[in-house]
């Protein structure tokens, strides 16, 4: 049976924390593929600063050279809000059964699963692979989400035992970085080396993404000034 990882997000920009999360899930769940799926219209957060084109390009640069990883424009093809339940439906329509899909997500984001569209039915449409993030360990999730505690388990995957989707808890170290922090650093003219893949950094710099544009200073046009606004002795 295929084991397809789905790593979704706004990716504005995609960073090392996203990569660490995907690698941790890939390693412990023995995923056969990882699809990195940029959201088009994120329903729960402000609209992205970078265009869909640039965010997909950065995702493609991030997966380049990683065997089994690929950037997927499934959500970018639709003008509808990028609800995860709709993404699952699109994968199902392409022939993937729920037990074959593993949605990769940080523990901090999964803690808010109760606010997601189509909850709790969404938990039947794919496995959820929840990975610790700095400040939010998967060890805390059974306490924070007691209604889901009975569905939580630890790897490894037993294909015979997990023919229906479950919630895998994965304790792993992931980079302490966020897209918000990266955008803030760029706006302040600070370096982002080691926070994103080198190709992503080059793309951001080449296209001057997340850098505030400084309006050009308008030179005074004395000829158009009203007489009262001119300096004495100037025409």
Structure tokens at 21: 């999360």
End-to-end CA distance of the chain: 83
> Among candidates 113, 116, 80, 77, which has minimal Cα distance to 94?
77
Compute the distance between CA of residue 17 and CA of residue 67 in angstroms, rounded to an integer: 19
- The confidence band for 21, taking pLDDT boundaries of 50, 70 and 90, is very high
For 145-166, b/e burial (b = at least 16 CB within 10 A) is beebeebbeebebeeeeeeebb
What's the order of all strands across the beta sheet hosting 152-153?
69-71, 33-38, 4-9, 101-106, 127-131, 167-170, 152-153
| Fold that domain 4-176 belongs to in CATH | Rossmann fold (3.40.50)
pLDDT value at 1 more than 90: no
Categorize the per-residue pLDDT at 160 as very low, low, confident or very high, splitting at 50, 70 and 90: low
Residue 96 above 60 pLDDT? yes
């Amino acid at each position: 049976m295929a084991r397809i990882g789905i790593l979704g997000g706004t990716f504005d920009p995609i960073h090392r924390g996203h990569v660490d999360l995907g690698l941790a899930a890939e390693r412990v769940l023995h995923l056969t593929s990882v699809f990195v799926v940029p959201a088009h219209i994120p329903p729960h957060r402000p609209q992205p600063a970078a265009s869909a084109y640039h965010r997909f390009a950065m995702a493609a640069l991030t997966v380049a050279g990683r065997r089994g990883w690929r950037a997927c424009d499934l959500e970018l093809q639709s003008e509808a809000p990028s609800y995860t339940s709709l993404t699952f439906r699109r994968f199902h329509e392409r022939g993937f059964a729920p037990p074959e899909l593993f949605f990769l997500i940080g523990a901090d984001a999964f803690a808010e699963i109760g606010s997601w569209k189509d909850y709790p039915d969404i938990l039947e449409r794919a496995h959820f692979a929840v990975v610790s993030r700095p400040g939010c360990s998967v060890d805390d999730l059974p306490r924070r989400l007691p209604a889901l505690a009975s569905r939580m388990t630890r790897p490894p995957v037993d294909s015979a035992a997990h023919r229906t989707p479950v919630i895998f808890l994965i304790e792993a170290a992931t980079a302490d970085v966020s897209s918000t922090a990266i955008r803030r650093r760029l706006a302040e003219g600070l370096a982002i080396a080691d926070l994103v893949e080198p190709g992503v950094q080059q793309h951001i710099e080449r296209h001057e993404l997340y850098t505030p544009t400084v309006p050009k200073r308008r030179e005074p046009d004395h000829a158009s000034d009203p007489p009262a606004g001119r300096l004495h002795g100037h025409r």
